[in-house]
Chains A and B, each alone.
Chain A
Amino acid sequence: MSDEHAVILTAGIGKIYDSGEVQVEALKGIDMRIEPGELVAIMGASGSGKSTMLNILGCLDHSSSGDYYLDGIHVNELVPDQLADIRNRKIGFIFQGFNLLSRTSAFENVELPLLYSRHLEGEDLAALTRQALERVGLADRMHHFPNQLSGGQQQRVAIARALVNQPAMVLADEPTGNLDTRTSIEIMATFQKLNRQGITIIMVTHEHDIADYCKRIIEFRDGRIVRDQQVTQPRHADRDLESGHWQASGLGERP
């Protein structure tokens, strides 16, 4: 079932949360295929299973059934240490709450995945770290602590941390959930820029305005995919920022 071309290929992924008495079926047989270079938004209401799916895709959680191939690797067969290495090498994870280590400079936060890495031999870790920070435009803030940075800057540090190991894909769980509208669009601009450079990005969001910046939208409801469509003309974040269009369109109003 493996396919060398797809970054993600899942077949019949199911997830059951068993709390002893109550069994909750969060995912009911998800088939999904994502090619390199895609920019995908996974949408859905709370409890639709979208975050559960993302955690399984990110090798943070196990599926209860089904098969998952990441970059051609059959993830179901891996032991915890191999999963850790997959997370380290293949996946960059971005969280809603940024999840930076406190009292730790931006530079040290971004460097961390490199320190846990097992495949780097004699490379200049500091140079790789600086490069990642430059890509998100934070080269001048690298020695600041998270509490000295704005929310958008913190999320960009998290993006740099996700990128530093040159992963096959970046997974983002509500990356703009804690940010104001302008900053959210700035983050989307960063994502679009990285995507143009060839990085596969899959993000979970419940905001349609944010999803509109993606090239493909997959919608979850009650543990199933109910919609999967290509966006013919994604919004252009840079253009919106320049024109201030997002203010006029009422894009900032949240549900």
Chain B
Amino acid sequence: MKWKNLIKVAFKSIVKNKMRTLLTMLGIIIGVAAVIVMVAIGKGAEKRIQDQIASMGTNLLTIFPGSMQSRGVRMGPDSGVQLTLDDVERLKREATLVQAVSPMVRSGAQLIGGSGNWNSSVWGVSEQYLEIRDWSLSSGEFFSSADVRAQNKVCVVGQTIVKNLFAGDDPVGQQLRVRNVPFRIIGVLKERGQSSFGQDQDDLIIAPYSTVLTRLSGQVHVNQILVRAVSLEQMESAQAEVTAIMRDAHRIPEGGDDDFTVRNQTDIAATAQETSSVLTMLLASIASISLLVGGIGIMNIMLVSVTERTHEIGIRMAIGARGHDILVQFLIEAVVLSLSGGLIGVLIGFLATWIVNMATDWVTVISPTNVLLSFGFAGAVGIFFGYYPARKAAALNPIEALRYE
């Protein structure tokens, strides 16, 4: 029998039994649509978790001055070569996997302003600091690169300062004397609360590092250099790159020990990776189970269909259909059913994802791989679960099939 005719016969059979066709496809439609929606929501959640963890500073690399060895005795940090603004400039110029760089100059200071005085710490950083830490302001603005270049006496203050010196009023535009140097407050940081170690993270003022170096601390070196890598995935390569640039800047010969330390927040990053991979695995398993159930549904209907159509198979054999013809007809039916079911499932999956997106504030990410995979799986399921009933049909004895009522 010619293929064209076989396909014709199979299609006629599909079209003639609309109810059966629909019921068979339903399992696959729901399976594929569920997989697409679920994975889209899951991927969205994964992305959100990653974003949140990234905002905790997982992309952050911190460079500390290294320890020095003196006759076998290792000294603490700050005992050897210091980090300088030249290091910062080189990192800015040469590093490719780095999004932003800022020096950090720390100094304690007595503050006078508003209603009284307060002791706090002063951080001198670059205009990219907010971006590096993913912090934001509750009012006012952050200082610019022009402020850094001109060593302007401007600062951004934390919520604790606002509470203690300005009684909670917006202090933007007010004056604050830091170690008797008058600064103008241009912004207020958003509240960040306690750190996990119980530190008050709102008790600080932030000013351009150039101003802090010249006006307040009087030192030439910086305490730390903060670097933000372009992405979580690139952390390791970024760290390697930063290390190489620093070694070159400090002219450390090959084989020599680093005179600085680069730290990352590996454990947070690892947790983030683990969380999202567990989530992905969970979703993948639920997804495959629902597709499998859809596949078993197809097999079920195909088996019932073989039994129900035994008499029809007998008629077909009596007028000259070979076992192979019956097998191919049933296989074509199964594949067409599962592929068109898969296609409809993909469309419904897109639609449902769109509705979820509109109706809730969940982030959804439709991945093309996932769509292709579930569609391909639907086809595979059709062939796999269609084969057994088809073979059963093909093996029927014509006279027994004919007698079956």
Contact = CB atoms under 8 A, between A and B. Distances in A.
B320 A87 contact: yes
A161 B319 contact: yes
A165 B1 CA distance: 14
A61 interface: yes
Given A116-B5, A118-B1, A61 B319 contact: no
Kindly name the residue among B1, B8, B311, B318 whose own CB sees the greatest number of chain A CB atoms within 10 A: B318
**Which of A58, A95, A99, A115 has its CB near the most chain B CB atoms (within 10 A)?**
A115
Interface in A89-126: 89, 93, 95, 99-101, 103-104, 108, 112-113, 115-118
B323 A84 contact: yes
Contacts of A118: 1
Interface in B386-405: 398-399, 402
B71 interface: no
A115 to B, nearest CB: 4
Interface string A64-97: 0000000000000000110011011100010100
A112 B402 contact: no
B9 A84 contact: no
B293 interface: no
Contacts of A80: 322-323
A116 B1 contact: yes
Contacts of A81: 322-324
Interface in A12-45: none
B317 A87 contact: yes
Contacts of A108: 12
Contact of B402 (A60, A84, A85, A104): A60
A181 interface: no
The listed residue with most B CB atoms (<10 A of its CB), out of A61, A104, A116, is A116
Contact of A58 (B5, B318, B322, B325): B318
Contacts of B321: 84, 88, 116
B5 A61 contact: no
A112 B322 contact: no
Interface residues of A, number: 27
A55 interface: yes
Interface residues of B, number: 24
Contacts of B320: 84-85, 87-89, 113, 116-117, 165
- Say what secondary structure dominates the interface of chain B: helix
B16 interface: yes
Contacts, number: 70
A18 to B, nearest CB: 14
B1 A117 contact: yes
A87 B1 contact: no
A84 B323 CA distance: 8
Contacts of A55: 399
Given A84-B320, A87-B318, A165-B320, A60 B398 contact: yes
B402 A99 contact: yes
B12 A104 contact: yes
B141 interface: no
A8 B65 CA distance: 106
B296 interface: no
B12 to A, nearest CB: 7
Given A80-B323, A85-B322, A116 B398 contact: no
Interface in B303-321: 311-312, 314-321
B360 interface: no
Contact of B316 (A60, A61, A116, A165): A116
B404 to A, nearest CB: 12
Given A81-B322, A104-B12, A104-B16, A112 B399 contact: no
B17 interface: yes
Contacts of A161: 319
B323 to A, nearest CB: 6
Contact of A93 (B16, B311, B318, B323): B318
A93 B16 CA distance: 24
Contacts of B402: 60, 95, 99
A58 B320 CA distance: 11
Contact of B318 (A89, A99, A104): A99
27 contacts: A55-B399, A58-B318, A60-B317, A80-B323, A81-B322, A81-B323, A81-B324, A84-B320, A84-B323, A84-B325, A87-B320, A88-B321, A89-B320, A95-B318, A99-B318, A99-B402, A103-B17, A104-B12, A104-B16, A108-B12, A113-B319, A115-B8, A116-B5, A116-B316, A116-B320, A117-B1, A165-B320
Interface of A: 55, 58, 60-61, 80-81, 84-85, 87-89, 93, 95, 99-101, 103-104, 108, 112-113, 115-118, 161, 165
The 5 A-B residue pairs whose C-beta atoms are closest, nearest first, are A88-B320, A115-B5, A84-B322, A103-B16, A113-B319
